Structure 1
């Protein structure tokens, strides 16, 4: 690049950064692992964090005190926990290696169940901790009974299932795959109720607590919000080439949090797709610090704060204010 073009680029970048208004003041910040995280999840109320650190062990952390409550691993030859989830009642947690799934009791830290599954990609757990949704490389997802240890339904795609989610009322499951489809499944019947196709593989999905709204994000593509009853598109988030690395609906289903691979968190209005607020750490220089993806998000129980986990091993708490 010529010196002239480089100067133009830097000037344009400065104006762009000035034009982007976002919150940079963190309420609290914790280091969960200096070497970075393989995976992380937060409880529904943000009080617990379950993080997979680089040596393959999962740590359950009490967020308020930054206290490690339990350390979990599947086997002595741990190859790394690739997915985690905590039930909304904060009583159970699940961890997955690529070929196994484990269920844990939060209070005691004891293992309750262990199952072999080939090529797991993602997991979700029901609000009461009785069921799990397991995404697989075998072009399917299993709705699995953790109490009886049996598969209830098998949900099929024509490509790797990359991402899964459950509604907290136990009504729906949503799966997203390399076949470019996000599919909505009825958990009472196991039937496909809606499906939405996008132009790239589906990278992230989410469901509102009441199951009324769904979100699907295509990798380096568009993010869309859907009405699960009608199948209609409610809104499309006004960002191009946006990969969502984490997402979470608010308890009242009116708002959606999304995290990106560049440490940015956005708050959206579900029905309109309007951007309401943005949080992003301060940068020392224009090109900033090392990039860290947002890999888990949660609203506080009172709705006044949000929590996030990053791939760099940093956890943060932010205040929600009007933009």
Structure 2
């Protein structure tokens, strides 16, 4: 999504939710990873590191155990950093980053770039990478989704969507893709053939999709009140997230390793843990707001379930830890 449009939307969403009853919470630990703020972030499954696109700076590979920068990356030698999408592979070997026109694949162990590519016919709206960096998924504003294999150069264009693609995710083995768009649909499809496996219909624009790393669940959410957890094998609904608000938009989502929970991050500082089987909220937190004039808020980008802790990175530039057990 265009960063300016997204931030404007988030501000409007914050104003809409000003009257929502969300409890103030204090994290168990908080530290700053970017004084100027964050455009995007992702946290590794192990919780060892995060990759953070920093405002007025670079892309930082940040050690969560040593609390320091391991590598600094840039898409271009000069100019402002505008990377708005980051995804770490499930095996933590590779990272993919993207701005509106370019995407890059990085080797996490060495910190070296594997390659840079440019999209000419449409802007990039979301991106994902499979284990060992073997497959990259690029969701585009023209409604197409490209699956690309860096090693072989093979690419496949999924043409199932009729409008803009907002969110994509890929299975760790790279064989399956999940995509959602403005056409009110989410598709699970094969990256080998482009064949559609399951179709998930929504009443509004699909804004977030996630594949469980262990191939148990799928998550699809629209721009209003329909957020569903599905059985990845059968395509049948397991639960719908229960909330009283007319609208709850998600900017990040991740399933727990034990399959019991779904963790989500949102605009308006919202971080929530959900029961997968019932769709009920188990626990909810509010991350620290950004500094500046009212209304002060923060968009939650990076999230992780690590041991007994929830970890979050928000647009405020804060890294926060929360106990949930």
Bigger radius of gyration among the two: 1
Cα displacement (A) at 1:79: 5.3
Normalising by structure 2, we get a TM-score of 0.85
Residues 1-323 of structure 1: pairs in structure 2 closer than 5 A: 17=21, 24-55=25-56, 57-75=58-76, 76-78=78-80, 80-118=82-120, 119-239=123-243, 240=245, 241-281=247-287, 290-300=296-306, 303-321=307-325
| Deviations, residues 65-89 of structure 1 (Å, cap 9, x unaligned) | 2211111111124551121111222
Partners of 2:283 and 2:63 in 1: CA distance:
27
The aligned length equals 299
- Please list every run of 5 or more consecutive structure 1 residues that lacks an aligned counterpart in the other structure: 1-12
CA, structure 1 residues 150+77, in 2 after alignment: closer, same or farther (shift >3 Å)? Answer: farther
Distance in 2, matches of 1:56 and 1:81, equals: 10
Tell me, which stretches of 5 or more residues in structure 2 are unaligned? Answer: 1-17
Q: Corresponding residue for 1:4?
A: none
Q: Closer, same or farther in 2 for the Cα pair 1:182/1:125, shift >3 Å?
A: same
Structure 1's 314 and 21: CA in aligned 2 closer, same or farther, altered over 3 A?
Answer: closer
Alpha-carbon contact 2:55-2:81 (below 8 Å) kept: no
- Larger displacement relative to structure 2 (76-85 or 100-109): 76-85
**C-alpha displacement of 1:298:** 1.2
User: What TM-score comes out, normalization by structure 1 length?
Assistant: 0.85
SS at match of 2:83: coil
The answer to whether the 8 Å contact 1:199/1:221 transfers is: no
Tell me the CA shift for residue 169 of structure 1: 4.6
Deviation at 1:161, TM superposition (A): 0.7
Give per-residue Cα distances to partners, 1:20-65, cap 9 Å, x unaligned.
668x242221211122111111112222111111126211110122
Deviation at 1:230, TM superposition (A): 2.4
Deviation at 1:164, TM superposition (A): 0.7
| CA distance in 2: counterparts of 1:184 and 1:106, whole angstroms | 28
Structure 1 residue runs of 4 or more that deviate by more than 6 Å after TM superposition: none
CA contact (8 A) 1:305 1:319 kept: yes
Is contact 2:94-2:131 (8 Å) kept?
no
SS at match of 2:131: coil
- In structure 2, how many angstroms separate the alpha carbons of the residues matched to 1:30 and 1:196? 39
Aligned-pair CA distance for 1:170: 4.0
Check the 8 A contact 1:121/1:136 in 2, yes or no.
yes
1:146 to partner: Cα distance: 2.3
CA distance in 2, matches of 1:79, 1:308: 22
1:195-216 Cα offsets, whole Å, 9 max, x none, are: 1121211111111122221111
